Amino acid sequence: MTIDTSIVEEGQELEKPSQAPMTGVVAAAEGRRRGKPRKFLFLRNSKAVAGMVILGFFLLIAIIGPWIAPYDPSARSDDILQPPSWEHWFGTTHLGQDVFSQILVGTRGVIVVGFVAGILATAIGVIVGVTAGYIGGLGDETLSVLANVFLVIPQLPLIIIIAGQLPTVGGVTVAVVIAITGWAWGARVLRAQTLSLRRRDFVEAARANGERTWRIITAEILPNLTAIIASGFVGTVAFAVLSLITLSFIGIGNTGEWNWGTVLYQAQSQLALQRGAWWWFVPAGLCIALLGMSLTLINFGIDEFVNPRLRSTGLNARSLRKRGIRPRIGFTPVVREAEETRA
Amino acid sequence: MTIASPIGHPQRLAPASDPVLEIKNLSVDYGYDDDPVHVLRQVSLTLGRGEVLGLAGESGCGKSTLAYAATRLLPPPGLITGGEVLFTDRSGVKTDLLRLNDTQLRASRWQDMAIVFQGAMNSLNPVYRIGRQIADGIRAHEPKTSQKEALERAAELLDLVGISPDRLRSYPHELSGGMRQRVMIAMALALDPQVLIMDEPTTALDVVMQRQIVEQIAELRDRLGFSVIFITHDVSLLIEIADRIAIMYAGEIVEDAAALDVYNKPRHPYSSALLHSFPPLRGPRRELIGIPGSPPDLSRLGGGCPFADRCAFAFDACSKVNPELVFPNVPGDDPRRSVACLRHDPAAVRAVGEVPLPVPAELSLS
Amino acid sequence: MRFFLRRLGFYLITFWAAVTINFFIPRIMPGDPVSALIAKNQGRISPDAAEALRTLFGLDENMSLWDQYVQYWNLLLHGELGTSFAYSAPVADVIAGAIPWTIGLVGIATIISFTLGTLIGSGIGWRRGTWADSLLPISTFFSAVPYFWLALIAISVFSVTLGWFPASGSYDRSLVPSFSWEFISSVIYYGTLPALTIVISSISGWILGMRNMMVTVSSEDYVTVAQAKGVSERTALFGYSARNAILPQVSSFALSLGFIVGGTLVMEIVFSYQGIGYYLFTAVAAKDYPLMQGIFLVITVAVLFANIVADFIYGVLDPRTRQEG
C-alpha cells in the first residue's frame, strides 16, 4: 500500500455519511497509524504519479517538439510511403513527409487546445456550479437546468455544426467551442458538492459571523472543492483532446496546423489502410491513447484521494494468493499467523 | 455509593458450564500488507446460554471488530490471524466457525447467530420491500418454503416487534428510524437464532425510542430464550439490560464481571474511569470525570499495559508487562470475575523484577 | 408521477434549447455561405425550397427576428428541414433513409456494450484483489482510445490483412434491400465489424463505472447484512450489490449517451456505413449546412428520447423516486 490513510477522515467528509459499521473503528485505527504530513499524499498514489509522468512527457514534447523534430513536417521528399527506418522513425507519408516529425510538431496543437479548453470550461463550470449550489432557490433551478441541457445535447454534433460554419477555424477557436459545449459536467458535480458544503457547520458559522459572501466562497468553499475542480479540469482536458482530434479527423479545422488528428485525417483520406501503411496511423493513435490514459490515471488518483473506499488497501493479488487470502465482503479470511501466548 | 437495582429480570450469571459461544484467543489484523494494525490481540470471551452480555468501551477499542470477526463479517482488509470461535448448538455439538467453509458458514449464519447492525438506515436494502428482505433470509435457509409462506412468517415477526403486518409492503425509506431498527430485530429473529449480536442498536435513536427498544429486547429474550451480545459505549444502558459486562480497551478485554459488580465495584482503572464519565441512572448524583488522553495508537503499542499512559494508578511495572486477565486481588469477590491490571497481579510484577503495589481503595470497593 | 412530469418538462426545455441553438448558429456566424450556395444551386432546387432555406438560415432581412423564429418553428413542426445541397433532396428524406441504419448499428451495439460492461464490472468490483483486477489497466487503455482509431485498426487487421469482414458499407451492393434472409444476413455480416468496434471501445467505460460503484456499494451495511443472513452468493451479488450499483450506472448512461453517440457517428465515417454519422461527414465536407443542422436536431431528439427511456427505467428500478412528492 502506497497511499497514506491519514486523510481518511477528510475523505469521509466529502462523501455521504453512510459508513459501514466497522469502517469507523478501523479507519480510526488506520488514521492514527502513520503521522506523516498530508501535503504529498496525492503524490504517493502510484496511479497519479504514473499519470503525471506521462503527462509531463507530453508537455515537454509540446514545448520542444518543433525544435527537436528531424524534418519539416510538411516538407515532401522522394521517400514515399516508407516503413519505419533509422532515417524516418515512424515512416513516411504518400508525399514523403516524415510522420515522426508530424507527431512531434503536432503535440503542441493538441496540448494547447486541451489545456485552453480545459481552463475555460473549468472556469465556466466553477462559476455556474458554485453559484447554483450557493444561492439555491430559483437561481439554482435555472442554472441546473442549463447545465443539464448542455449535458444532454450531444456535444460532438454540436461542436461540428458550430465549427463547421465558422469561416476560419484555428486551434484556439476550436478550444473555445469545446469549452462552451463541455463545461456542464464539472458544473453539475460542483453544484452538488457546494450544496452539501453550504450546510456544513463551518460555513454556517462564517455566515452567522457576517462574513461577506465572496469571502465565504473563496475562503471556505473553494478550498474544499479543490479535488473536484482538479478532477473536472483533467476530465475536460481529456474530452477536449478527443474532440479536437475527432474534428481534425473528419476534416474540420485548419489543416495547415499539425496535430495528431490531422495526421490521422491524411492517413484515412490517402487510403493508408488499403496501402498497408500502418505506421501512418498507429503512432498517432497510440499517442492519443497514452495521453488519454495519463489523464484517466490522474483522475483515478484524485478519486481514490477523495473516496477512500476505492483504494486498494494493499490488495496485491499475487501476494494475497500466496497467503491464501481471498478478500471478500462477508467472508473474512482466516490465516493462522498470530502467535498464541495466552492459554 | 448505593447499589442500583436492575430493572426487568433478576440478576444472574449463567453457569460457565453451559456456554453457547466461546471466543478463544481471537486475533485480528487490519491491513494485508507487511505492516498491519493488530486490532484484536488474543481476545477470549464466553457467552452463556440465555445470557445477555454487554460489551463496552470507547469507540475504536475493538468491540465491534470483535463481533464482526467472530461472525466473519469483518470487511477487507480485516484479517483473522488466529484463535477459535466455538459455537455450541442445542444438542451440545461444538463447531469452530473459523474452520467452516463458505457453504457451511452460510448455512450456520442467521440460524445460529444473527446480527442487528448499527444504524438501521443502511442495513436495509433501499430497493426491496422489507417483507422481501425478511423472506430472503428465511428462504436462504429453508429452500422449500414458498415466498408466500415466508412472507406470512415475516408478518408474524413484524407483529412480534410491534409493527403492523401491512408494513411488509413498505420500502425502508418509508419507515421511521425506530421502525427500521425494529424491522432489523424482527429480521434477526426470523430463524429463531440462539445468539443475537446487537451492535449499538440504539445509537442513532432518541432516548425514548432507545428505551423502548431495550425493553423490547429484554422482553423478547425472556420469551424466546436466546443469548445476546449487546455492544455499546453507553455503560449506563448496559446496566439495564446486561447480566454480565466485558470492558474492552485497545483491542483487549480488561475486565469481565457481573453487570452490577462492574457498575458498583469496578476493579480496572479504565472501567472505573469509564463509569465516571456517564451520569448514573439511579442513586445520588456523582461528579462526572472524563478520561484524560485518548486511546493509544494500535500500531505503536509497546510491551506494557496499553492504558498506562492514561492511568492514575500506573507504576513502573506497567510499562514493562501487558497484564493478563486474572482474578481480582480483592478478597470476597465473585470467583468468576476477572481483570487485567497489574495492581491485581503481584506475581506478574515480581516476574519482571518490580515491587508490586497494593490495590488502591477506588479499585477495591465492596 | 411528479418525478416523471418534472423530467418530461426538462426534456421539453432541452428540446426547445436545441432548436433555439440551431436557429441562432447560422444567424450569428460571420459571412453568408448559404445564399451563395442557393445561387449556385439555382435551377436544381425549387423556388419553394429556396424560400424555406432562406427562413431556416435567416436570409430574409426584412423580417424581424421574432417573426423569423416563429416561422422557423412553423417549418420544423411541419417536418421541413430544408433541402440538402449535396443530395438535391429534402433533408428530412435524406435523414429518414439514414436513421434506421444508425439506430440499428449504434443502438444494438450500445445496448450490448452497456449490458456486457455492467456485468463484467459487477464481477470485477465484487472480486476485488483477485486476477480480475488485472482487467482494469486494459479497460483504462481502451477507454482512452478514440473510437475511430480503433475502427482504423480493426479494418486494417480484420479487413485488409485477414480479409474476414468487408471494410466499408452496410450491405452487399449487388443485393436489393428486402426482407429476404440473403439481404438480412448481408446486413449482419457488414455490421459485425463496426458493431464489434463500438462495443470494444465503449465497454471499458461501463466496466470501470460499474466496478467503482460496486466497490462503493459493497461496503454498504445492507450487503454485509445480506451475507450475515446467509443468502447465496448470487443473491448477495445481484440482489443486493449490483441491484443498487446499477442505479448510478443507469443515470450515467443517460448522461453520457450524447458523448457515446458522437463517438459512434465518427465510427460510421471510418466504415463508410450509410448512417447519420456518414451523412454528417459528407455534409461537413460539402458544406451542406441544411443537412448538418437537420442531422444535429435529429440526433438531439434521438438522445432525448433515449434519456426518457433511461429515466423511466430508473424510476422502475428505484422505489425512492416513485414516492417523491
pLDDT 10s digits, B146-176: 999 999 999 999 988 888 998 899 998 888 8
Report the alpha-carbon distance of residue C138 to residue C122 in Å, rounded: 16
| Beta carbons of A157 and C262 less than 8 Å apart | yes
Share of chain A above pLDDT 70, in %: 81
What is the pLDDT at residue A317? 66
Would you call B294 helix, strand, or coil by DSSP? coil
pLDDT 10s digits, B275-291: 877 666 566 666 667 77
In a domain, B135, yes or no: yes
Residue identified by cell 453457569 is: B15
Q: How far does B14 lie from chain A, in Å, by closest CA? A: 22
| Beta carbons of A21 and B117 less than 8 Å apart | yes
DSSP state of B29: E
User: Could you tell me how many helices (H) and strands (E) chain B has, helices first?
Assistant: 11, 11
In a domain, B344, yes or no: yes
For residue C240, give the nearest of B114, B125, B141 by CB distance. B125
Torsion, Cα of B14, B17, B18, B22 (10° steps): 100
| Beta carbons of C300 and A18 less than 8 Å apart | no
Q: Mention the CATH class of domain C105-287.
A: mainly alpha
In a domain, B13, yes or no: no
Helix axes A226-249, A278-306, angle to 10 degrees: 160
B46 touches A at CB < 8 Å: no
What is the pLDDT at residue A33? 38
pLDDT 10s digits, A146-186: 888 888 888 888 888 887 777 766 778 888 888 888 888 88
pLDDT 10s digits, C277-324: 888 888 887 778 888 888 888 888 888 888 888 888 888 888 887 764
Residue of chain A nearest B294, judged by CA positions? A32
What are the backbone angles phi and psi of residue A33, rounded to the nearest 5°? Answer: -70, -50
For residue C227, give the nearest of A246, A273, A329 by CB distance. A329
Final residue before a domain boundary, out of B242, B274, B291: B242
What is the pLDDT at residue A303? 78
For residue A28, give the nearest of B60, B99, B102 by CB distance. B60
Given a cut of 70, whether residue B99 has pLDDT beyond it is yes
- Report, as an integer, the average pLDDT of C167-174: 75
In a domain, B2, yes or no: no
* HSE-up of residue A220 (Cα within 13 Å, Cβ side): 23
Whole-Å CA distances, A225 to A124, A195, B189, B228: 15, 11, 45, 45
Confidence of residue B134 (pLDDT cuts 50, 70, 90): very high
- Least confident range from A293-307, B41-55, B338-352: namely A293-307
| Beta carbons of C229 and B136 less than 8 Å apart | yes
Q: Which three cell numbers stand for residue B245?
A: 459486562
What is the pLDDT at residue B138? 92
> Which comes out higher in pLDDT, residue A142 or A82?
A142
Q: Which of C238, C259, C291, C320 to mutate to test the interface with A (most CBs of A within 10 A)?
A: C259
What is the pLDDT at residue B356? 86
C305 touches A at CB < 8 Å: no
- Domain regions of chain C by residue span: 105-287
- Report, as an integer, the average pLDDT of C250-278: 83
**Cβ atoms of residues B187 and B221 within 8 Å:** no
| Beta carbons of C144 and A290 less than 8 Å apart | yes
The CA R_g of chain B, rounded to the nearest whole Å, is 21
B147 touches A at CB < 8 Å: no
Give chain A positions within 8 Å (CB) of B29: 338
Identify which of A195, A221, A192, A223 has the alpha carbon closest to the alpha carbon of residue A206.
A221
What is the pLDDT at residue A122? 92
Identify which of A308, A288, A125, A143 has the alpha carbon closest to the alpha carbon of residue A222.
A125
Q: B184 and B136 share a domain? A: yes
Count structural domains, chain B.
2
Identify which of A273, A175, A291, A109 has the alpha carbon closest to the alpha carbon of residue C143.
A291
Chain center to CA of C209: 19
Task: Give Cβ neighbours of residue B335 (< 8 Å, ≥ 6 apart).
Answer: B327
Answering whether pTM is above 0.90, one says no
A328 touches C at CB < 8 Å: yes
Identify which of B227, B172, B171, B159 has the alpha carbon closest to the alpha carbon of residue B194.
B227
What is the pLDDT at residue A7? 27
Confidence of residue A316 (pLDDT cuts 50, 70, 90): low
Q: Which of C128, C222, C227, C229 to mutate to test the interface with B (most CBs of B within 10 A)?
A: C229
Final residue before a domain boundary, out of B242, B273, B296: B242
Work out the mean pLDDT of chain B and round it to a whole number: 84
In a domain, B9, yes or no: no
Share of chain A above pLDDT 90, in %: 3
What is the pLDDT at residue B197? 92
Task: Give the B-side interface with C, CB within 8 Å.
Answer: 32, 71, 73, 75-76, 102, 105-111, 114-115, 117, 119, 122-128, 136-137, 140-141, 171, 173-174, 187
Q: B272 and B337 share a domain? A: yes
| Beta carbons of C230 and B111 less than 8 Å apart | yes
Given a cut of 50, whether residue B14 has pLDDT beyond it is no
In a domain, B3, yes or no: no
For residue B76, give the nearest of A1, A32, A313 by CB distance. A313
| Beta carbons of C152 and A264 less than 8 Å apart | yes
Share of chain B above pLDDT 90, in %: 21
Q: B70 and B175 share a domain? A: yes
In a domain, B290, yes or no: yes
- Look up residue A303 and give its amino acid: D
Identify which of C39, A160, C163, C224 has the alpha carbon closest to the alpha carbon of residue B115.
C224
Whole-Å CA distances, B194 to A191, A272, B47, B238, B259: 50, 74, 11, 20, 21
Q: B238 and B256 share a domain? A: no
Q: Which of B74, B96, B109, B200 to mutate to test the interface with A (most CBs of A within 10 A)?
A: B74
What is the pLDDT at residue B21? 92
In a domain, B161, yes or no: yes
- Report, as an integer, the average pLDDT of C5-27: 84
* ipTM surpassing 0.90: no
What is the pLDDT at residue C180? 78
Q: How far does A35 lie from chain C, in Å, by closest CA? A: 26
Q: How far does C184 lie from chain B, in Å, by closest CA? A: 42
Range of the domain at B61: 19-242
Confidence of residue B22 (pLDDT cuts 50, 70, 90): very high
C226 touches B at CB < 8 Å: yes
Q: Which residues of B, range 79-108, sit inside 8 Å of A by Cβ?
A: 79-83, 98-99, 102, 105
Final residue before a domain boundary, out of B242, B269, B285: B242
| Beta carbons of C319 and B127 less than 8 Å apart | yes
For residue C280, give the nearest of A160, A267, A289 by CB distance. A160
Confidence of residue A29 (pLDDT cuts 50, 70, 90): very low
B78 touches A at CB < 8 Å: yes
What is the pLDDT at residue B255? 92
Give chain C positions within 8 Å (CB) of B71: 228
